[in-house]
Amino acid sequence: MQETDLAGHLQDAERWACLLETASAAVGEMLAASAPEDLLIVTGDHGNDPTLGHNFHPREYVPVMAMVGPDTPALRGVRFASLADVGATAARWLGLDEGLLGNGIAAGEIIGE
């Protein structure tokens, strides 16, 4: 959701919070509509706290949430050292050689290894 990034840069905390609620509801809808073999990964490419007093990207932890199907518990970023690991996990899930796409390490607990 590009809008959350824009709200962060504008330092509009109220708009940012509203957009996060919208995103949260959308994730719930996607998860409810997913099949047991579907992988859903939710993350961002950087943080953007609208209450910091400046409109630059902060150097903060960006959460990652991943789940398979609607009935499994979500894994929240513990095994992802970087966005490369997120890409490697998605690649392996899709049957691709993650080594050809970059240098990430697939999260085995998500893909059943």
What is the pLDDT averaged over residues 60-87?
A: 77
Q: Do residues 65 and 75 touch, judged by C-beta distance below 8 A?
A: yes
Task: State which H helix or E strand residue 66 sits in.
Answer: strand 65-68
Cα distances (Å, whole numbers) of residue 13 to 7, 51, 83: 7, 6, 26
**Taking all residues of the chain, what is their mean pLDDT, rounded to a whole number?**
81
| 112 phi-psi bin (left φ>0, alpha ψ -120 to 50, beta other) | left
Q: Quote the CA–CA distance of 50 and 24 in Å, as a whole number.
A: 18
Max Cα–Cα distance, the chain, nearest Å: 44
Query: What proportion of the chain, given as a percentage, has pLDDT over 90?
Result: 12
Q: State yes or no: pLDDT of 27 exceeds 80.
A: yes
Instruction: Looking at mean pLDDT, say which of 17-31, 53-67, 80-94 comes out highest.
Output: 17-31
Q: Quote the CA–CA distance of 49 and 20 in Å, as a whole number.
A: 12
Helix/strand/coil for 37: coil
Instruction: Looking at mean pLDDT, say which of 21-25, 47-51, 89-93, 104-108 comes out highest.
Output: 21-25
Q: State yes or no: pLDDT of 21 exceeds 90.
A: yes
Q: Do residues 103 and 84 touch, judged by C-beta distance below 8 A?
A: yes
